């Protein structure tokens, strides 16, 4: 018990003293996850509007597929992308493996199904009278999409926040595609795994506390948006 309390005190000391190594890892992790979430939102929100507002054959199958992909193992995404981005892979000439760009691509692929599926749910959960009003006013498809985007914006924001929460806490893609390079691709999750294996428990615990704080903030925002949705 004394060991854990001492480690906890040392971890808080690293956080309070603004230890440069700790916050370099924190910044790298947040920056990569924010970029991945932004890219995923740009892709998924319009697709969510499109699927939610139109009827087409295979729509149910698509939604079932998205439900399955929401639980896609991160190591599977990492494995496939590693094969594609490695020197012998089809995209090996781009030199993306073990770079932040590769990590952003991996996290983006991982969270697109989450934001897409929740965006569809946000559209489907809108007031049924909204569609009738749009049709009665002769709104075009683009105008109807814009109206829905404004009316259920908190639902879309909740979807984006949930995507960010998944991205910031994943380790498989970050480890396989980033390589855990210090000062370059080392994120909070990969650093926690590495430092714990090295016996640097205090450093790992400090990162764990910050990661919990980020996750708590994301969940607080998610709850707020869901109350308004």
- Give the distance between the most distant pair of CA atoms in the chain: 70
Q: Residues 18-35: pLDDT tens digits?
A: 889 999 999 999 999 999
| 99 touches 49 (CB < 8 A) | no
- Tell the CATH topology of 20-228: MetI-like fold (1.10.3720)
**pLDDT mean over 9-13:** 88
Helices (H), 17-140: 20-53, 59-69, 74-85, 100-124, 128-136
Output the average pLDDT for the chain.
89
**Which residue ranges make up each domain of the chain?**
20-228
Question: Are the beta carbons of 115 and 122 closer than 8 angstroms?
Answer: no
Residue 92 in this model has a pLDDT that exceeds 80:
yes
pLDDT in tens, 164-195: 999 999 988 999 999 999 889 999 999 999 99
pLDDT value, residue 29: 95
Unique residue bearing structure tokens 């991205």: 167
Q: How confident is the model at residue 228 (pLDDT cuts 50, 70, 90)?
A: low
């Amino acid at each position: 018990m004394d060991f854990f309390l001492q480690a906890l005190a040392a971890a808080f000391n690293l956080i309070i003293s603004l230890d440069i190594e700790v916050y370099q890892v924190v910044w790298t992790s947040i920056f990569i996850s924010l970029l991945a979430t932004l890219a995923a939102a740009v892709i998924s929100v319009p697709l969510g509007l499109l699927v939610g507002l139109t009827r087409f054959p295979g729509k149910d199958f698509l939604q079932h597929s998205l439900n399955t992909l929401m639980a896609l193992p991160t190591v599977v995404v990492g494995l496939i992308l590693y094969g594609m981005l490695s020197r012998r892979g089809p995209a090996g000439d781009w030199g993306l493996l073990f770079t932040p760009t590769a990590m952003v691509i991996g996290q983006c692929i991982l969270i697109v199904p989450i934001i897409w599926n929740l965006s569809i749910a946000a559209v489907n959960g809108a007031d049924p009278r909204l569609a009738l009003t749009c049709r009665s006013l002769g709104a075009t498809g683009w105008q109807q999409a814009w109206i829905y985007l404004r009316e259920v914006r908190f639902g879309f924001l909740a979807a984006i926040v949930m995507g960010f929460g998944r991205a910031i806490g994943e380790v498989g893609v970050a480890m396989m595609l980033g390589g855990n390079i210090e000062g370059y691709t080392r994120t909070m999750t990969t650093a926690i795994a590495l430092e714990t294996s090295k016996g640097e428990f205090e450093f790992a615990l400090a990162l764990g506390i910050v990661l919990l704080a980020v996750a708590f903030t994301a969940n607080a925002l998610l709850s707020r948006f869901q109350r308004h949705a």
